[in-house]
Amino acid sequence: MSALKKHIIETFGFIEEEFGHIEGFFKPRSLAKGEYFLKEGQLVRQMGFVESGILREFLYLNGKEITKWFSTSGYFAVDLSGFLFEKTSKVNYQAITAVEMLTISKENFDQISGKVARWDTLEKMFLAKCFTVLENRVVSHLGLNAEERYLQLHSFNPQLFNQVPLNHLASMLGMTPETLSRIRNKQAKSIS
């Protein structure tokens, strides 16, 4: 079973027959390290699903690159408002490693309702999950200190700490690279 099929069935409650109706809408795409899936200012025409590799979502604020998220295997990559409302992207998605993904065009996404009778309900679940992830990130940034944010991300996705440059991780965690290094050293000493 592909990662996409497994994710859609387990997360959104599709049955295999429903997934079979839309499977052909998804097209494979490979990105080399450093290649962009989406750039700020481009019209958002595709949603991606990461099968393997790491995409970094980032934007520019006050002349600085700010990392918002890392899409790893099992995660979608999309500027959701740009995709749904056919607007230009406010973010960039760049491959940190080689990436294998499946993409769906906006035109094919809009055809799902004609293929899957329960799509209205399933789409609401998809959007609710997207907003829940965002809400949890906001709450963690507001309610946790730097070390707690580090520990939360490390327990959630430890592979990032071996594959992603520290300055990108620090940016996503809302801290300086120096603070991240101090926290990592402290954690390494406590394990020893």
pLDDT band at 192 (very low <50, low <70, confident <90, very high): low
Lowest mean pLDDT among 25-29, 97-101, 115-119, 180-184: 115-119
pLDDT for 142 equals 80
Residue with tokens 């099992």: 74
Q: Which tens digit of pLDDT belongs to each residue from 39-93?
A: 999 999 999 999 999 999 999 999 999 999 999 998 899 999 999 999 999 999 9
pLDDT for 183 equals 92
Rounded-to-integer distance, Cα 158 and Cα 139, Å:
21
Q: What is the 3-state secondary structure (H, E, C) of the chain?
A: CCHHHHHHHHHHCCCHHHHHHHHHHCEEEEECCCCEEECCCCECCEEEEEEECCEEEEEEECCEEEEEEEECCCCEECCHHHHHHCCECCCEEEECCCEEEEEEEHHHHHHHHHHCCCHHHHHHHHHHHHHHHHHHHHHHHHHCCHHHHHHHHHHHCCCHHHHCCHHHHHHHHCCCHHHHHHHHHHHHHHHC
- Are 9 and 15 spatial neighbours (Cβ–Cβ below 8 Å)? yes
Rounded-to-integer distance, Cα 48 and Cα 74, Å:
10
Is the pLDDT at 11 greater than 80? The verdict is no
Comparing 56 with 12, which gets the higher pLDDT? Answer: 56
pLDDT band at 30 (very low <50, low <70, confident <90, very high): very high
pLDDT for 1 equals 54
CA angle 167, 173, 176 (to 5 degrees): 50
Rounded-to-integer distance, Cα 58 and Cα 68, Å:
5
Mean pLDDT over each residue of the chain, to the nearest integer: 90
Rounded-to-integer distance, Cα 27 and Cα 1, Å:
16
Is the pLDDT at 19 greater than 90? The verdict is no
Just give the CATH number of 3-143: 2.60.120.10
Q: Which tens digit of pLDDT belongs to each residue from 104-118?
A: 999 999 998 888 888
